[in-house]
Structure 1
Amino acid sequence: MQGIFYALVPMIAWGSIGFISNKIGGSPSQQTFGMTIGALIFAFGVWLVVQPQLTLTLWFFGILGGLLWAVGQSGQFHAMQYMGVSVANPLSSGSQLVIGSLIGAFVFNEWTEPVQFVLGAIALTLLLVGFYFSSKRDAENPLMQQEQGQLSDFSKGFRALAYSTVGYLSYTVLFNNIMAFPVLSVIFPMAVGMLVGALALMKFQVKLTPAVLKNSLVGILWGLGNIFMLFAAAKAGLAIAFSFSQLGIVISIAGGILFLGETKTQKELHWLLIGLFCFISGAVLLGIVKSY
């Protein structure tokens, strides 16, 4: 029970990042920069308490991972701006799960048993169906007919998701498949890399605007999610921790609709619920696959 309680924290924390940051406001660059400031403050606090040994290797790969993360997060914020939180977040999570699972299975041989391939194939199919229904749009929606730039914005959102997924997957593969570092040790170097990456995306034109400072609170949410993900995996196992973390999609969709006023027609709500059900089912199945 304690492990499940721990797993709820990253679910809520990571699921809330998108709509809280968009509620605060600011450009995608300001959102990313503010988030990395908060993440660095949190990570430094963790380092002061734990005081892990920081080797040159840890610094190098931690900063590299942080740079890749910054690319992924910036792309996700851009996608949210173009497509809305309730559409962009499920697509972002789903694409990372699908492509990341395929890389793990066929590049790093994470799937070795026949049952893993069977369950994995079903899970990926569910995620792809979730992709389709989460992004499906109602042609009869008056907003689509009135807002001429909306379709082009939607295509920009997909392009932003593409480079976001590359950044996030590179960061994930680096820490999960190539270099294995304890989270409490690598979180500070990684936060430094995140901040440098955010500054580079802003072309080092630093402005501590109110939007940036407020978005630093979102970085603390990110840090809390990371720490409790570690605790959840230790107490309840990686399968439970992984599956629960993906349920953050529910939080982001609800937040986008309830707090950001992202309107949906009745048809779009039905499609979104189908897509959400498929995403959650696929994520849970992938958690089961990881437990073998």
Structure 2
Amino acid sequence: MNILIAFIPAIFWGIMPITNVKAGGKPINQILGTTMGAFLVSIVIFFITSPGLSSHALLYGILSGASWAFAQMLQFEAFTEIGVSGAMPISTGLQIIGTSLAGIVLFGEWPKTQTKLIGFLAILIIIVGVYLTTISDKKIVHTDKKVDVKKVVLIFVFQIFGYVGYSVFPTLGDLNGKEAFLPQTIGMVGAALLFSLLPSNLKLKPLFDKNTYSNVLSGILFGIAAFGYLLSAKANGIATGFTISQMNVVLATLLGVYVLKEEKSKRELIFTLVGLVLVVAGGIITTIMPQ
């Protein structure tokens, strides 16, 4: 049952990018709409489960949600610098490495040497698989300005702290998914609102832009995925739970091809299929390896 829970975020995080693309809008519209939708989901779950709302849960949950919003905005910024195809494999790979290492170092997950070796092998396989799914024959110019390499490096360095914080804070505070979820989405919305007050975003008036509210559906999907991930991290551990959640790349890639009609050459399709097989294989390894 715990392993089935671990696949909830993989499914809904896989669908979410498609709804984001369909909804449109700028990064600030997407972050506001997504966090609003997640907040709505958390309210419903809060009243259904009645977990209580302690100051302890508020602190760690808000820190977790704010960390995610911070990382996600940096990811949007990376898209503007090097494009989605350039940013996603780096981002996903760093998330897997950083979050798994945090689970191992901070919480003693994968305690046996044999488990660590197998786990790191699974992570490596997933990273290679994700990279293969992004290989393209097309030369795409993402921006007409010269790429600031130092800026891109800093974006990814700080981004990993945000995504690791999103996973680590609920476990650090020993919170279960039910009590962490509402505070977490409060942190997400709060951070997104702060981002909307930045001069570059304020002039766009994102709170009055229909594209913001078009992205609420993506937020609802994200909310379901995030709640599933909190339950999975508690039941399966951060290292295993997060690694399985990153299998969302399988669904997102297939939906991109068949729903968004993204064209792929024969060579691209072969690399994509091989990459997806590796991602699935790595995820399966983390679920059957000895603990």
Describe the SS at the equivalent of 2:208.
coil
Give the AA of the match of 2:223.
G
8 A contact 1:3–1:233 mirrored in 2: no
What is the aligned partner in structure 2 of residue 165 from structure 1? 160
Q: Please give the TM-score of this superposition, normalised by the length of structure 2.
A: 0.80
How far has the Cα of 1:124 moved from its partner? Answer: 2.9
Q: Does 1:15 align with 2:10?
A: no
Q: Does 1:57 align with 2:56?
A: yes
Describe the SS at the equivalent of 1:37.
helix
Sequence identity of aligned pairs in percent?
A: 28
Q: CA offsets per residue over residues 31-79 of structure 1, 9 Å max, x none?
A: 0101111111111122222222211121122111111010122234445
Q: 1:75 to 1:272 in 2, by over 3 A?
A: farther
Using the alignment, how far apart are the partners of 1:261 and 1:160 within structure 2? 30
Using the alignment, how far apart are the partners of 1:118 and 1:196 within structure 2? 40
Using the alignment, how far apart are the partners of 2:144 and 2:265 within structure 1? 16
Using the alignment, how far apart are the partners of 2:144 and 2:268 within structure 1? 16
What is the aligned partner in structure 2 of residue 196 from structure 1? 190
Q: 1:17 to 1:87 in 2, by over 3 A?
A: farther
What is the aligned partner in structure 2 of residue 251 from structure 1? 251
Computed over aligned residues only, the root mean square deviation of the Cα atoms, in angstroms, reads 3.4
Describe the SS at the equivalent of 1:207.
helix
Q: 1:15 to 1:89 in 2, by over 3 A?
A: farther
Using the alignment, how far apart are the partners of 1:4 and 1:112 within structure 2? 19
Q: Does 1:284 align with 2:278?
A: no
Q: More deviation in 158-167 or 57-66?
A: 158-167
Give the AA of the match of 2:176.
P
| 1:182-221 → structure 2 map (5 Å cutoff) | 182-203=176-197, 205=202, 206-221=206-221
Q: 1:126 to 1:4 in 2, by over 3 A?
A: closer
Using the alignment, how far apart are the partners of 1:132 and 1:263 within structure 2? 18
Q: 1:159 to 1:272 in 2, by over 3 A?
A: farther
| 1:140-179 → structure 2 map (5 Å cutoff) | 141=138, 143-144=139-140, 147=141, 149=143, 161-176=156-171, 178-179=172-173
How far has the Cα of 1:121 moved from its partner? Answer: 3.0
Aligned length: 282
What is the aligned partner in structure 1 of residue 92 from structure 2? 93
1:180 to 164, 174, 178: 174
Q: 1:77 to 1:210 in 2, by over 3 A?
A: same
8 A contact 2:129–2:274 mirrored in 1: yes
How far has the Cα of 1:91 moved from its partner? Answer: 4.5
Using the alignment, how far apart are the partners of 1:264 and 1:191 within structure 2? 37
Give the AA of the match of 1:208.
F
Give the AA of the match of 1:187.
F
| 1:23-172 → structure 2 map (5 Å cutoff) | 23-79=22-78, 83-84=83-84, 89=88, 91-138=90-137, 141=138, 143-144=139-140, 147=141, 149=143, 161-172=156-167
8 A contact 2:102–2:164 mirrored in 1: no
Q: CA offsets per residue over residues 113-161 of structure 1, 9 Å max, x none?
A: 12212202321331342354344443xx3x44xx474896797877655
| Structure 1 unaligned residues grouped into runs of 5+ | none
Give the AA of the match of 1:266.
K
| Structure 2 unaligned residues grouped into runs of 5+ | none
Q: CA offsets per residue over residues 267-287 of structure 1, 9 Å max, x none?
A: 222223333322332233233
8 A contact 1:134–1:271 mirrored in 2: yes
Q: 1:193 to 1:220 in 2, by over 3 A?
A: same
Q: 1:8 to 1:100 in 2, by over 3 A?
A: closer
Describe the SS at the equivalent of 2:263.
coil
8 A contact 2:240–2:286 mirrored in 1: no
